[in-house]
A and B are shown apart, each in its own frame.
Chain A
Amino acid sequence: MSAGDTQPAAQFSFAVRHAKRPAWALIGERLLTALIYACGISAIFFVLSIFVFVFKEAAPVLFSDRFDLRQFLFSEQWYPTSEINKRYGVLAMTAGTFSVTALAMAIAVPFGLGAAIYVSEFCGPRLKETLKIIIELLAAIPSVVWGFIGLTVMSKLIVQFTGAPVGVNILNGGIILALMSVPIIVSIGEDALKAVPDSYREAGIALGATRWQLVWRVLLPAAKNGLLAAVLLGVGRAVGETMAVLMATGHAVKIPHSILDSVRTLTANIAAELGEAPADSDHYRVLFLIGVLLFTITFFVNLAADMAVRGIRKK
């Protein structure tokens, strides 16, 4: 303390007050800040350019008179390589995407939410950490490995247990997609449950509710927006998944009648045919048009999920 008195504070105030940052530092900081802003805005740029580039390749066929948008959306006839009777109807593939996604969600939503509830409400901290790590690792499994599992393991099991002639079908794709969507649903769902204030739980328990009632009457209603977002993101992932369904659902372009029918999804169709369609042919452009369709579907699914999440934050 006393030592400070011997050195008056004013002695070096001059030095700090008159210190100047070198010009290169000031200019460097300006440039870097500009770069940071540019990178921030780049996300918008990338999403827009994805749409623009995919749409640009699709546009010539979309606006040509050889092409009928209604036929594209509502016909199940897909004969892109036919010499005399070309048909570009994607209804069968839309049905394929829809059926596989629906089955996947029918499995993944109850199990995923159940697992989220277990992780968030019932298990001890140790087990919780372990389960979360396993779920994170599951989410990391590449889709081509999932497809491979569907093709080799799952299809044999399906043939064995159901007696279906082929094992690559809606059931196979649905199970694989369900397993792929579960990690997303669990982790987002667990976040949503974590966001429910503890006071709700305490109030519920104080009123003598069992944990079962607590889950049904208190937690699920309170976390419903977040859980909805979890489900929507699961749907988004399932609709957009490519490799797994390409390998696990078979390649039949027809409207399915049972879950043991093979189907082809929108994504798998692009992956299967893009390599063979000559660049700039109508076939090639229609595949890009399917890309535009997929972009639009997932855009709205993600938008809805985002709005659901925003809903919880506002509260």
Chain B
Amino acid sequence: MFAETPFVRDKRRSETTAKWVFFAMAGSMILPLLLIVVFLFVKAAPSLRVDFLLDIPRRGMTEGGIWPAFVGTIYLVFISLAVSAPIGILAAVYLNEYARDNWLNRLINLAVINLAGVPSIVHALFGLGAFVYAARFGYSILSASLTLAIMTLPVIIASTREALASVPMSFREACWNVGATRWQTIRSVVLPNSISGILTGVILQVSRAAGETAPIMFTGAVFFKAVQKGDLFAYNLNEQCMALSMHLYTISTQVPGVRESVPFATAVVLLGSVLLVNAAAIALRAHMRARKKW
């Protein structure tokens, strides 16, 4: 009695087909990438040792390690973070907690969207015009970090806003009802309960800043800089530095005769660090979802 009619069978088949077509589309975007990552690792294998990280580039950057670039990236990332995190978090607090729905705030929203959408090379031009020349910081870690900071601001604003918005409105109302000011409400209830979301944003900013090349290329990153092997305090704020992303670009396009595994290993270190940092953000988010306070 409940045997399939041809109509039902066709329907079921079309359903299965649809599912597999879309599955194939999703898979065909993801699978090649996994293969590429594996390929990068295989090619990089001959150079992937701890000493590769700690050593300095040798023989005209054709051999040796990546320490100066690695340290330079750390400098750039943390200085840009020190600038963009406070501004971004407070901007998000403004947008989520203080802003009303008027033209000014629509304009701010539009500005944030555009800040995220401006091409990275235009950020580089801006950094060059504003920080290197106008502010007279010269080609330096400071100029490069400030450029990165402005470029990555939207990352922090977006995730902080999302974190703040996830705190239920009823908590705020309860605070206002007992005579708390907006700031008292934010400080004692809203911020403590969105801190993991804000941290996620900060971590994402780190990963974004570490990977960017164009904005630092003309503001403070340099092809080569002599640095002691393993020296953690290799740079001053007002001098140029090497950076991992820039180094990868340089040795894969500008320097002839580089040992094949070196650029691959550099790419793997850069990619690996960025993915690790992102994985940390994802883990943090999963963790915070698991132990919600309400």
Residues of A within 8 A of B (CB): 29, 32-33, 35-37, 39-44, 46-47, 49-50, 53-54, 56-57, 110-112, 114-115, 117-119, 121-123, 131, 133-138, 140-145, 147-149, 151-153, 179, 182, 186, 210-212, 215, 233, 236, 239-243, 246-247, 267, 270-271, 274-275, 279, 287-288, 291, 294-295, 298-299, 301-303, 305-306
Contacts and interface: CB of A to CB of B under 8 A. Distances in A.
Given A36-B90, A210-B18, A212-B14, A288 B211 contact: no
Nearest to A287: B125
Contacts of A131: 26, 30
Given A136-B278, A136-B282, A212 B17 contact: yes
21 contacts: A33-B98, A39-B88, A39-B94, A40-B91, A40-B98, A43-B112, A50-B118, A50-B150, A57-B128, A122-B19, A136-B278, A138-B30, A140-B211, A141-B211, A145-B271, A148-B248, A148-B252, A152-B263, A211-B18, A240-B121, A270-B121
Given A145-B270, A247-B252, A211 B15 contact: yes
Given A44-B107, A115-B25, A247-B252, A134 B211 contact: no
Interface in B177-224: 181-184, 204, 207-208, 210-214, 217-218
Which residue, of A148, A149, A236, A239, has the highest number of chain B Cβ atoms within 10 A? A148
Contacts of A134: 30
Contacts of B62: none
B11 A39 contact: no
Contacts of A44: 107-108, 111
Interface of B: 11, 14-15, 17-19, 21-23, 25-26, 28-30, 32-33, 36, 39-40, 43, 86-88, 90-91, 93-95, 98-99, 104, 107-126, 128-130, 133-134, 150, 153, 157, 181-184, 204, 207-208, 210-214, 217-218, 245-246, 248-249, 252-253, 263-264, 267, 270-271, 274-275, 278-279, 282
Nearest to A114: B25
A208 to B, nearest CB: 8
